[in-house]
Structure 1
Amino acid sequence: MADEGQQLDEGVADLAFRRIRGDIIAGTLPPGRKLKLDTLKAQYGASVSTLREILNRLASESLIVAEGQRGFEVAPASAENLLEVADLRLLLESHAIRLSLASGDLDWEGRVVAAHHKLSVIEAQLLRGEIERTAQWVRYDFTFHNALISACGSQTLLALHASVFDRFIRYHMLAASFRGADVMSDHKALFELAMERNADAIVAKLATHIRSGVDYVLSTGRI
């Protein structure tokens, strides 16, 4: 019975962690929001002690700021932080994609092809004005970029990239709009260069892709 209770507690904690983290990325919990434990307990169904552990984990990802005795709040958003996150994403993704292109096999190619197909379908729907697809696009955007680097051979690198990617995507969610045809064109170019195994060209394209994303977010005036 004790083991069952422990597994239940761990399940609740994992679910609460994923929900809180997802709400921060999506902007449901906006930058600067004070996170009161009693309110979170009612909203996410986890104990206060579990919530403290969750918030400390999220603080280690820089998604939450721990304020000592004053508690916790969602990390603020700023142009300076966006640029820092973009630089870190570019550093990690460039390294991982070079490794992936060098060792990717037929299964890797299949993952990239499938991920790009799904992403391009969603992007075409967004271009037709189906803005309700934005959250779905965010998921497929990550899936595509993750597929590109999935043969890098390092789970640590993949996990770190995923965390930084989410921090980058949070700014796109705060911008609350889709970047348009340019981002779809970028993804097609990245896909084609990946299939050609052209490491130098894909890293250069990735750099312009990420910088364009930063410029777009800042142009919305929401940060």
Structure 2
Amino acid sequence: MNDIAALPDIAGSQPDEPKTLAEAAYRRLRRDIIEGIHPPGEKLRVEHLKDHYAVGAGTLREALQLLVTDALVVAQGQRGFRVAPISLDDFEDITRTRVLLETEALKQSIECGEDAWEANVVAAFHMLSRAETKLEEGNEGNREEWELRNQTFHEVLISASPSRWCRHFQNILYLQSERYRRLSLFRQPISRDVHSEHQAILDAVLARDVEAATSILTEHILRTLEAVRQIPSDVLS
């Protein structure tokens, strides 16, 4: 018996509602760390943050421990918690590992995915394209929707992989990559046509061309590394 992930409901895809206060605080903190509201190295003081996130100290500590598991926060023993640091070396390592895992998971999905998976990939791309159109109209308020649709597209691409560990670690690496991608997006050091990159991935997947799909996905991921390399070194320290 394999362990292929259940296919998501793309048309109405929104994050599942958090089941506990700790999970809700974890998600908000995770978003704020990825978006740079809590910058790398910042000390996360429970006594200050519990009021901001409207939870008790114990609940906030539980959320912070979950972020330690994601490697977005570093626990410092009795000294509390800090946002994990960033560096170019770290992102190069993240990128190399992500390429290895995500391309292998995509290969497995193309080989194992049935019609329902293929339909979900098309639907995820369609929803991502709609979000891109809204963003191009100049409303930055639509960026959060685009970010969700982008993550969903990448998740659906590998959702037919039988390896739950590939999918699990890809999710962690994706979140780590997002911290760096947001920096490159904000500074816009290089121009790129992300829609065309996604379209090329989709076309290769629908053609069931493993070699082309994994090669294009690799280039897509490496483009973010190229962008991050253009960011001044003092920002990545």
Relative to the length of structure 1, the TM-score reads 0.87
Give the total of aligned pairs: 214
**Is residue 215 from structure 1 mapped to residue 226 from structure 2 by the alignment?**
yes
1:195 maps to: 206
In structure 1, stretches of 5+ residues that fail to align are 1-9
**Is residue 84 from structure 1 mapped to residue 93 from structure 2 by the alignment?**
yes
- Does the 8 Å contact 1:127/1:181 carry over to 2? no
Residue type at the aligned position of 1:13: A
* Larger relative helix fraction: 1
1:24 maps to: 33
The one of 104, 108, 118 aligned to 2:127: 118
In structure 2, stretches of 5+ residues that fail to align are 1-18
Q: Which of the pair has the greater relative contact order for Cα pairs under 8 Å at 6+ separation?
A: 2
Q: How far 1:127 moved relative to its partner?
A: 4.2
Residue type at the aligned position of 1:16: A
- Distance, in Å, in 2 between the alignment partners of 1:200 and 1:82 is 25
Shifted more, 103-112 versus 135-144: the winner is 135-144
2:55 maps to: 46
Q: How far 1:89 moved relative to its partner?
A: 1.3
Shifted more, 186-195 versus 13-22: the winner is 13-22
What does 1:96-175 correspond to in 2, within 5 Å?
Answer: 96-175=105-184
- Distance, in Å, in 2 between the alignment partners of 1:161 and 1:196 is 24
Q: How far 1:131 moved relative to its partner?
A: 3.8
- Distance, in Å, in 1 between the alignment partners of 2:30 and 2:95 is 19
Residue type at the aligned position of 1:118: M
* % identical equivalent positions: 36
- Distance, in Å, in 1 between the alignment partners of 2:98 and 2:218 is 10
Residues 170-219 of structure 1 show CA distances to partners (whole Å, capped at 9, x for unaligned) of: 21223343675522111110000000111111111111111111111332
1:4 maps to: none
Distance 1:128 1:49, change over 3 A: closer
- Does the 8 Å contact 1:115/1:147 carry over to 2? yes
